[in-house]
Amino acid sequence: CGEGLTRPNPPVGAVVVRDGKVVGSGFHPAAGEPHAEIFALRQAGDLARGADLYVTLEPCNHHGRTGPCCEAVIAAGIARVFVGVADPNPIVAGSGLDRLKSASIQVETGLMEEECRWLIAPFAKHVRSGLPHVTLKAAMTLDGNIDTSTGESRWITGSASRERVHRLRNQCDAVMVGIGTVLADNPRLTTRLPVSGGRNALRIIVDSRLLTPEDAEVTRGTGDAPTLIATTMQASEEKSQRLRQLGVEVLRIEGSSDVVDLKVLMRILGQRGLQRILLEGGGILNSAALRAGIVDRVMFFLAPLVLGGRGTGVFFGTGVDFLGDAIRLSPIHLARIGDDIVIEGEVIRSCSQD
pLDDT above 50 (res 352): no
pLDDT digits (tens, 9 = 90+) for 241-295: 999 999 999 999 987 678 999 999 999 999 999 999 999 999 999 999 999 999 9
Q: Tell me the percentage of the chain whose pLDDT exceeds 70.
A: 96
| 33 is annotated as an active-site residue | no
Instruction: Give me the chain's average pLDDT, please.
Output: 91
Report pLDDT for 61. Answer: 87
Domain ranges of the chain: 13-119, 131-353
Cα–Cα distance for residue pair 38/94, rounded to 1 Å: 19
Q: Tell me the backbone φ, ψ of residue 265, rounded to 5 degrees.
A: -60, -45
Domain 13-119 falls in which CATH fold?
A: Cytidine Deaminase; domain 2 (3.40.140)
pLDDT above 80 (res 17): yes
Question: Does the domain formed by 131-353 have CATH 3.40.430.10?
Answer: yes
* Whole-Å CA distances, 348 to 130, 329, 331: 19, 6, 9
Give the active site residue among 3, 33, 37, 71: 37
* C-beta atoms surrounding 344 within 10 Å: 18
The mean per-residue pLDDT over the stretch 118-122 comes to: 94
pLDDT digits (tens, 9 = 90+) for 134-149: 999 999 999 988 887 7
pLDDT above 60 (res 221): yes
Report pLDDT for 346. Answer: 95
Cα–Cα distance for residue pair 202/251, rounded to 1 Å: 13
Report pLDDT for 350. Answer: 57
pLDDT above 50 (res 12): yes
pLDDT digits (tens, 9 = 90+) for 289-343: 999 999 999 999 999 999 887 778 888 887 888 888 889 999 999 999 999 999 9
Cα–Cα distance for residue pair 64/86, rounded to 1 Å: 18
Report pLDDT for 1. Answer: 56
Residue type, 228: L
Report pLDDT for 226. Answer: 95
Report pLDDT for 354. Answer: 46
Report pLDDT for 2. Answer: 63
The mean per-residue pLDDT over the stretch 181-208 comes to: 87
